[in-house]
């Protein structure tokens, strides 16, 4: 494992779009972020006002003037592309197409999407429905934006807690348009122990064998409030949860992911105090 120079790290947080999407870059500047994640619309509502040309122009201009080199979007929490309910599935497809179009217009490289829930129909049925949804989405647009499937903690009927499930879906999808967003908290809660160097390397051997490192295109760096294998998704600040510092040290010093953007998804704190502490620790852990 070899450390990239701190200035080369693609590291940052999920940033609020309150007050206008272009505001994310000034907020990123306050914490020294070189990579960010955003929502392109309200993540908790189906309806969203259209993007205006002024918003698009302001976002692109602000990005060009900033130090941010990687921007990902996270999809709406309402999406369930694996739903057995035809109405919910169709609504999810239309919303996903809208988000992909927003990313295209804004110049955002990738869209992170949870695989969804099979709602009791079973993993095989859910994954099959998910792939059919993506096939429809790919036929209708969004080719300029990479879709990143995010691993999950496995709460309820959620798909994507196991690497085998992600691998099954990815084998059936166009590799040129799909990749993986790897969330550390979700992996730990799903039963992958990355709290030690040995556990980290064992997991990465599986990632390489089942998915391939080239498809891992984004990391969510979240510690876990809940125990290993709890299947409960509760984020904690880096190094303060049950994963602990060593797991993040392994990832930050892993040359295989030196150029992969890494995003924190925990509350920023007053005056960004928590973001600043988390980012400072991660930069320190990146040092050999």
Calculate the dihedral angle through the C-alpha atoms of 111, 115, 117, 118, rounding to the nearest 10 degrees: 140
Within a domain: residue 260? yes
Look at residue 19 and tell me if it is in a domain.
yes
What average pLDDT is seen over the chain? Answer: 95
Answer yes or no: is 153 within a domain: yes
Task: Classify residue 1: in a domain, yes or no.
Answer: no
pLDDT value at 280 more than 50: yes
The answer to the question of residue 43 being in a domain is yes
d(CA 38, CA 58): 15
Q: What does the pLDDT look like over 46-102, one tens digit per residue?
A: 999 999 999 999 999 999 999 999 999 999 999 999 999 999 999 999 999 999 999
Question: How does pLDDT run across 233-277, given as a tens digit for each residue?
Answer: 999 999 999 999 999 999 999 999 999 999 999 999 999 999 999
User: Kind of pairing, strands 216-220 and 223-224?
Assistant: unpaired
Q: Are the CB atoms for 180 and 217 separated by under 8 Å?
A: yes
Residue 104 covered by a domain: yes
**Which pTM was predicted?**
0.95
Task: Report the 10 Å Cβ neighbour count for 105.
Answer: 16
Q: For residues 139 and 241, what is the distance between their CA atoms, to the nearest angstrom?
A: 42
pLDDT at position 1 over 60: no
pLDDT confidence band for 3 (50 / 70 / 90):
very low
The residue ranges of DSSP E strands in 24-133, in sequence order, are 35-38, 70-74, 110-113
Please determine, for residue 42, whether its predicted confidence score (pLDDT) is greater than 70. Answer: yes
- Mean pLDDT, residues 37-49 taken together: 93
Q: What confidence score (pLDDT) does residue 51 get? A: 95
* 256 Cβ contact partners less than 8 Å away, ≥ 6 residues apart: 204, 213
Q: Is residue 76 part of a domain?
A: yes
CA distances from 112 to 174, 182, 217, 274 (A): 16, 10, 10, 23
Binding region? 74, 114, 150, 183, 186, 220, 233, 235, 265
Q: How many domains does the chain have?
A: 1
Over residues 183-208, the mean pLDDT reads 98
Q: Show binding-site residues for Zn(2+).
A: 74, 114, 150, 183, 186, 220, 233, 235, 265
Domain-located, residue 2:
no
pLDDT for residue 5: 42
Domain span including residue 37? 9-285
Q: Check which CATH number belongs to the domain holding 40 and give it.
A: 3.20.20.150
């Amino acid at each position: 494992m070899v450390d990239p120079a701190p200035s080369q790290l693609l590291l940052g947080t999920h940033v609020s779009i309150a007050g206008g999407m272009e505001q994310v870059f000034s907020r990123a500047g306050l914490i020294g972020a070189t990579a960010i994640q955003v929502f392109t619309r309200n993540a908790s509502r189906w309806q969203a006002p259209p993007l205006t040309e002024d918003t698009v122009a302001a976002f692109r201009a602000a990005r060009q003037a900033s130090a941010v080199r990687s921007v990902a979007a996270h999809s709406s929490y309402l999406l369930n592309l694996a739903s057995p309910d035809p109405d919910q599935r169709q609504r999810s497809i239309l919303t996903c197409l809208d988000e992909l179009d927003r990313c295209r217009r804004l110049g955002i490289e990738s869209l992170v999407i949870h695989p969804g829930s099979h709602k009791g129909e079973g993993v095989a049925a859910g994954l099959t429905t998910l792939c059919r949804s993506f096939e429809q989405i790919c036929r209708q647009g969004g080719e300029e934006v990479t879709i990143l499937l995010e691993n999950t903690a496995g709460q309820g009927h959620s798909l994507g807690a196991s690497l085998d499930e992600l691998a099954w879906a990815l084998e059936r999808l166009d590799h040129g348009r799909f990749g993986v967003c790897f969330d550390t908290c979700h992996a730990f809660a799903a039963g992958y122990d990355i709290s030690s160097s040995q556990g980290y390397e064992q997991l990465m051997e599986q990632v390489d064998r089942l998915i391939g490192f080239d498809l891992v295109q984004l990391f969510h760096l979240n510690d876990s409030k809940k125990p290993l294998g709890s299947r409960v998704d509760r984020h904690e600040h880096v190094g303060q949860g049950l994963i602990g510092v060593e797991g993040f040290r392994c990832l930050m010093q892993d040359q295989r992911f030196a150029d992969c953007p890494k995003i924190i998804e925990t509350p920023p704190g007053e005056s960004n105090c928590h973001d600043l502490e988390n980012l400072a620790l991660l930069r320190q852990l990146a040092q050999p």
